[in-house]
Amino acid sequence: MNQIYLDGHSTTPLAPEALEAMTPWWHAQTGNPHSPHFRGMLASQAVESARAELAELISADSQELVFTSGATEANNIAIRGTAFAALESGFDRRRIIVSAIEHKSVLASAASLKGLGFQVVEAPVTRQGLVDLERLAGLIDDQTLMVSVMAVNNEVGSIQPIARVVELARAAGALVHVDAAQAVGKLPLGFTDFDLASISSHKVYGPMGIGALFISSASSLRPLPVQFGGGQESGLRPGTVPTPLVVGFGVAARVARERLIVDCAHAAGLAASLLDELRLLQTKFLENVPETIRVPGSISIRFPGQNAMSIIGRAGHRLAISEGSACNSGQINESHVLSAMGYTTQEASETVRIYCSRFNTQHEVIEAARILSESIRD
């Protein structure tokens, strides 16, 4: 039996269109896009074409995009690079605000700046996984350099009120960074109101190992590089741009733009069917985030009295889902996201994370619900 894959928050399957487009660039059309010869020129053109496709998906100018190894690197450049730029330019703001449920690459990047005199403040969130706007407003002041809030949470799928976050930050003259890894291609989202935004290819049916950082041409401060080398990507991100990965990313972005409405409806319908089947099977569960505020296809549910890791283990080779706790260096720790939302250690340990993707079917989600139900009864 083939395993049913429902772990799209972790990574989405590669789109066949992206795979096909990437294939020639591994061998038949090999070329370094920074080389002066004809093959290099062709590779460079392919890279720029992909950059344009990605820009169109997010309603940006292609020159506002810098390719990175993924959203983690983009988050590091956005936060650490902007802080370095503030220090170098004499910009005197030293307060950075992040939501308490940000990806760890955001939290760790911000925390690393404390030794340089920056104050890092975590904005609290509600029980439903939304940043508390009233309390956020009270944290933003005239010393705030940046506010960083993700568009969609990677563990529970909650859609953040980004428009209001932008309004609050702008009123105080602060920059806005958005980790958009879980939102691009899954929600209609333009970047024109942001200063910085991070994107991950493998969350939008593109290849692993490539991402991008959006840097608004209208921003008052441009980040400095955090790594050094050959000066590629406008001097901000050194290293050879991987042509095959970028080409795949560009095609995945184009397909995501063309299929956005269809994909959203498909994913939402599958998630609803899975939950309906669990109810028909009289399997007791609780939704951590209501459907109205979570990205289509995403489910964060807990099974009272059941251990998530045990459920996943019993589902075995039949079903690929993940737990609500984060694994670090082989140690299972309580999810900082669920903890910040006010869930107990017990409730967090009962939580599983599911994402129904473009390539899942109605039959698969019905079968997945049955596997879950059986795993709980076992």
pLDDT tens-digit map of 62-117: 999 999 999 999 999 999 999 999 999 989 999 999 999 999 999 999 999 999 99
Which pLDDT value is given to residue 1? 59
Q: What is the mean pLDDT of the chain?
A: 95
Using DSSP bridges, classify how beta strands 95-99 and 144-148 pair: parallel, antiparallel or unpaired.
parallel
Residue 106, SS3?
helix
- Chain-centroid distance of CA 87 in Å reads 28
Nearest alpha-carbon partner for 296 in 276, 271, 279:
271
Q: What value does the mean pLDDT take over residues 167-185?
A: 98
Query: Residues 123-148: pLDDT tens digits?
Result: 999 999 999 999 999 999 999 999 99
> pLDDT band at 55, cuts 50/70/90?
very high
Tokens of 148: 């960083």
Nearest alpha-carbon partner for 94 in 119, 116, 126:
119
- Chain-centroid distance of CA 287 in Å reads 21
Catalytic residue among 327, 332, 333, 342: 327
| CB-CB contact of 231 with 238 (8 Å) | yes
Alpha helices in 281-335 (DSSP H): 308-315
E-assigned strand segments in 149-262:
175-179, 196-200, 211-215
Amino acid at 210: I
Q: What value does the mean pLDDT take over residues 306-328?
A: 84
Tokens of 262: 């269809």
185 contact partners, CB below 8 Å, separation of at least 6 = 57, 203, 204, 205, 252, 253, 256, 257, 260, 263
Measure CA of the first residue to CA of the last residue in the chain; give whole Å. 20
| CB-CB contact of 49 with 185 (8 Å) | no
Q: Cα–Cα distance between 25 and 45 in angstroms, integer?
A: 12
Alpha helices in 101-242 (DSSP H): 104-111, 133-139, 162-171
Reply yes or no on whether 327 is catalytic. yes
Q: With pLDDT > 70 as the criterion, what percentage of the chain qualifies?
A: 97
Q: How far is CA 64 from CA 42, 211, 212, in A?
A: 22, 14, 10
Residue 263 clears pLDDT 80, i.e. is over it: yes
115 contact partners, CB below 8 Å, separation of at least 6 = none
| CB-CB contact of 174 with 147 (8 Å) | yes
Q: Cα–Cα distance between 218 and 158 in angstroms, integer?
A: 29
- The domains of the chain, with CATH numbers, are 4-12+259-377 (3.90.1150.10), 63-242 (3.40.640.10)
- Chain-centroid distance of CA 99 in Å reads 14
> pLDDT band at 248, cuts 50/70/90?
very high
Amino acid at 300: S
Which pLDDT value is given to residue 316? 83
Which pLDDT value is given to residue 109? 98
Q: Hey, how many other C-beta atoms are within 10 angstroms of the C-beta on 252? A: 32
Specify the pTM.
0.95
Angle at 191 between CA 189 and CA 43, to 5 degrees: 100
Residue 324 clears pLDDT 90, i.e. is over it: no
